A = this chain, B = another copy of it.
Amino acid sequence: MQRAAALVRRGCCPRPPGPWGRSQSSAAAEASAVLKVRPERSRRERILTLESMNPQVKAVEYAVRGPIVLKAGEIELELQRGIKKPFTEVIRANIGDAHAMGQQPITFLRQVMALCTYPNLLDSPSFPEDAKKRARRILQACGGNSLGSYSASQGVNCIREDVAAYITRRDGGVPADPDNIYLTTGASDGISTILKILVSGGGKSRTGVMIPIPQYPLYSAVISELDAIQVNYYLDEDNCWALNVNELRRALWEAKEHCNPKVLCIINPGNPTGQVQNRKCIEDVIHFAWEEKLFLLADEVYQDNVYSPDCKFQSFKKVLYEMGPEYSSNVELASFHSTSKGYMGECGYRGGYMEVINLHPEIKGQLVKLLSVRLCPPVSGQAAMDIVVNPPVPGEESFEQFSREKESVLGNLAKKAKLTEDMFNQVPGIHCNPLQGAMYAFPRIFIPAKALEAAQAHKMAPDMFYCMKLLEETGICVVPGSGFGQKEGTHHFRMTILPPVEKLKTVLQKVKDFHIKFLEKYA
């Protein structure tokens, strides 16, 4: 039947001449003609449509690059076309993209990368010896001494050794095993790989993944891709976004009614919420994971981004070991880091690592197998990760400049964190918790009843409506809180504090003016 139909269609469309049947130029002419006027009559329905596509992928949402960012792109094009706006540029405060905001790369890191990329430079007097030493070490560990070779699926050995040494220093001597280190294509890649292995079961035994609300939307996106069950636990906004174990317990026991919660994700320092967990809180979470048999995912990519003088980053790994063997030899923990944040802000290289401890040996084999299908993470990103964990040390030629650059970036971020908190809290109808760490403000905004109605009329979440107006009137692009999750009836947005101080002041002033006008308009 179907084949008959096919033959009819075939009849109505004569086969083209055989091989080399026509000159390329005429073919090209026809082709461009085709492209210009595609005869609508010959359009057939597509095989891949919203109805036929993977429903889990359809369900994915990723606010950080969602509709508001597409709108920002349109506005930029309009500005380029000379269309008048109440502003002259779009400020993309929606994403933690340091270099795009004018932050300069760390010189030492780029010198080593350049030497690895083009080894002829190893003879150049214009590169410091310590940079050459790093480059030679990395190249010697690469096949054919080239960044162009595949690395081992788990990453270049000597880089995994440097990561392990870094973790051991960072954690005051708590040992790290290079064999537990996996280099990744950024933290996002590591997180989705671990979740991919963890998800199983059907119906009520489908894997549940506990994530904070507000969360970084990579988590909800991957959970949806994997058709896992998202289990929300709420951070306590009235208490500086603290994580409360009783809330974890509530979320877990409620979830057990309809799924099998196996994974607990923690983001510390918090994204988008900026809180830094204290020692007691980390201990409580670890004990809870131990007690309830949960696999711990610790997203620690902002470990260098702590600003509040009374806060200190402590890794889950360190606390786990210091809690004693019952924990340190039993709790399965994956911790993630990245080249993209911290003081280096090398997002483009897509470099990162994960340390996975207490993994069942058979599962380690499964993990390496899964990683090997993608062959290896970008070797350039692996090299960048090496410099992040193996920077110049006192006595080395580049130490002084490196320290200056690092302190300048982190010092400015600390200033901007305080500045942002203070300025937001001066605005009626905006409340902002202290930015203890990370690189975002997540202020709570009061949206008047009339604005809620207007949003509903536009079929938009209230904070999406707010952020769209902000973008259209000021050119400032921030992400609605609804993209991260928030308590019913509360509204927020996420804004990076990455713009240079003076520019950030302007941005904050513009938000303030906009907000006051917004309150008046919808009073």
Contact = CB atoms under 8 A, between A and B. Distances in A.
Interface stretch (A268-276, A317-325, A487-495): A317-325
Contacts of A291: 3, 6, 9-10
Contacts of A377: 350
29 contacts: A3-B291, A6-B292, A16-B283, A24-B172, A24-B173, A28-B171, A28-B173, A34-B321, A38-B329, A46-B360, A47-B332, A49-B360, A50-B360, A53-B197, A53-B200, A60-B373, A99-B144, A100-B143, A100-B150, A101-B144, A114-B118, A114-B121, A148-B345, A150-B348, A188-B373, A189-B374, A348-B378, A349-B378, A380-B381
Interface stretch (A105-113, A401-409, A410-418, A511-519): A105-113
Contacts of A196: 54, 57, 225
Contacts of A175: 31-32, 35
A93 B389 CA distance: 33
Given A34-B328, A114-B121, A362 B50 contact: yes
A109 to B, nearest CB: 9
A329 B37 CA distance: 10
A521 interface: no
Tell me how many chains of this kind the complex includes.
2
A113 to B, nearest CB: 5
Given A150-B100, A279-B19, A372-B62, A30 B322 contact: yes
A292 B44 CA distance: 12
B197 A48 contact: yes
Contacts of A60: 369-370, 373
Nearest to A46: B360
B325 A34 contact: yes
Q: What range describes how many residues of A lie at the interface?
A: 35 or more
Contacts of A47: 262, 293-295, 332
A197 B54 contact: yes
B62 A332 contact: no
B150 A97 contact: yes
A398 interface: no
Nearest to A328: B34
A43 interface: yes
Nearest to A289: B47
A373 B34 contact: no
Interface in A273-322: 278-280, 283, 287, 291-295, 318, 321-322
A428 to B, nearest CB: 34
A149 B345 CA distance: 8
